[in-house]
């Protein structure tokens, strides 16, 4: 259909397109949103990286696509609801490394990205997180966001997984809300794992809707083969160990 239904609620979404390595908005990027009812709608981001697209119909499935020179393409499928008024789109600068990008909604205020590196016996070799932002010369925490997902992503770069080690990527709710007053699904969280050199990406949604105290979410694991060996887990957990990768 080309028009908007009479007396139907209109939903417009304010997209914020940012560079995931520095949390700065990207200007002059076209945000294309193709709705199952409204078809293709698009707008160009302003100097702050914002673009408002719509109107959409409540319940409409929307495929969002963003492309920009020097960055990996971003594509996500969302559903328009009364609560869908803004969305963060973190763009990954194309490069030779694996990049792990966590995005979420306005609550909880502080989700923390971690990567633990285990040896073959399950012993921890290094833990990458907010208080240890580098593991040797092979992994770094680039962005640590503590003021809600609306303000930007958490971003990790992995140059390589050393031979004989297994990397486990997981997230912890430092705010202590998930599993109590809200579920992981309520947080609108997702992690995007970008392969090196623009070779593709994998999106892992945090769709666990239980409120049973599980403050960890295991995104996935991979070994020295890197992105090609990534195994998505996508499960909530009450604690973290090497067993989460098995």
CATH number for the domain that contains residue 104: 2.60.60.30
pLDDT value of residue 152: 66
Q: Tell me the CB-side half-sphere exposure of residue 230, using CA atoms within 13 A.
A: 25
158 and 236 co-located in one domain: yes
3-state secondary structure of 165: coil
Name the DSSP letter for residue 149: G
Count: domains in the chain:
2
pTM for the predicted model, two decimal places: 0.89
* CATH number of 73's domain: 2.60.40.1120
What is the average pLDDT value for the chain, to the nearest integer? 91
113 and 196 co-located in one domain: yes
| Percent of the chain surpassing pLDDT 70 | 93
For residue 79, pLDDT beyond 50? yes
The tokens for 114 are 């971690």
pLDDT value of residue 198: 93
115 and 89 co-located in one domain: no
pLDDT value of residue 100: 97
- Does residue 1 form part of some domain? no
> What is the spatial distance between Cα 237 and Cα 214, in angstroms, rounded to a whole number?
5
82 and 121 co-located in one domain: no
> What burial letters (b/e) apply to 158-176, b meaning 16+ CB within 10 Å?
bbbbbeebbbbbbbbbebe
Mean pLDDT of 128-154: 84
55 and 168 co-located in one domain: no
pLDDT value of residue 109: 84
Choose the weakest-confidence range: 51-55, 101-105, 134-138, 157-161: 101-105
pLDDT value of residue 67: 97
CB-CB neighbours of 198 under 10 Å: 14
The tokens for 107 are 């609550």
87 and 102 co-located in one domain: no
**For residue range 214-230, what is the model confidence (pLDDT) as tens digits?**
999 999 999 999 999 99
Choose the weakest-confidence range: 27-41, 74-88, 147-161, 195-209: 147-161
Domain boundary among 39, 59, 94: 94
For residue 167, pLDDT beyond 70? yes
Q: Tell me the CB-side half-sphere exposure of residue 189, using CA atoms within 13 A.
A: 34
**For residue range 8-36, what is the model confidence (pLDDT) as tens digits?**
689 999 999 999 998 899 999 999 999 99
Choose the weakest-confidence range: 85-89, 117-121, 166-170: 85-89
| Percent of the chain surpassing pLDDT 90 | 77
- Does residue 125 form part of some domain? yes
Mean pLDDT of 106-119: 92
Band the pLDDT of 6: cuts 50, 70, 90.
low
Burial class (CB in 10 A: 0-12, 13-18, 19+), 233: middle
The tokens for 70 are 């020097």
- Does residue 2 form part of some domain? no
For residue 2, pLDDT beyond 60? no
Domain boundary among 94, 127, 162: 94
> What is the spatial distance between Cα 146 and Cα 9, in angstroms, rounded to a whole number?
34
> What burial letters (b/e) apply to 61-72, b meaning 16+ CB within 10 Å?
ebebbbebeebb
pLDDT value of residue 150: 61
pLDDT value of residue 1: 46
Q: In which domain, by residue range, is 192 found? A: 95-246
Element (H, E) at 192: strand 190-194
């Amino acid at each position: 259909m080309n028009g908007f239904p009479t007396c139907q609620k209109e939903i417009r979404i304010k997209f914020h397109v940012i560079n995931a390595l520095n949390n700065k908005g990207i200007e002059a990027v076209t945000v294309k949103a193709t709705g199952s009812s409204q078809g293709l709608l698009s707008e160009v981001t302003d100097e702050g990286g914002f673009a408002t697209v719509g109107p959409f119909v409540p319940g409409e499935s929307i495929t969002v696509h963003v492309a920009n020179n020097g960055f990996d393409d971003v594509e996500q499928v969302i559903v328009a609801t009364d609560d869908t008024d803004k969305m963060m789109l973190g763009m990954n600068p194309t490069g030779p490394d694996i990049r792990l990008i966590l995005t979420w909604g306005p609550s909880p205020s502080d989700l923390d990205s971690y990567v633990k590196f285990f040896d073959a016996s399950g012993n921890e070799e290094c833990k990458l997180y907010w208080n240890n932002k580098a593991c040797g010369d092979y992994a770094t925490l680039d962005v640590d966001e503590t003021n809600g997902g609306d303000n930007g992503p958490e971003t990790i770069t992995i140059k390589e997984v050393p031979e004989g080690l297994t990397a486990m990527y997981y997230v912890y709710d430092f705010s202590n809300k998930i599993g109590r007053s809200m579920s992981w699904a309520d947080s609108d969280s997702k992690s995007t794992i970008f392969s090196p050199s623009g070779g593709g990406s994998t999106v892992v949604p945090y769709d666990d809707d239980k409120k049973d105290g599980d403050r960890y979410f295991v995104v996935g694991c991979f070994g020295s083969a890197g992105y090609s060996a990534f195994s998505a887990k996508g499960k909530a957990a009450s604690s973290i160990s090497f067993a989460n990768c098995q």
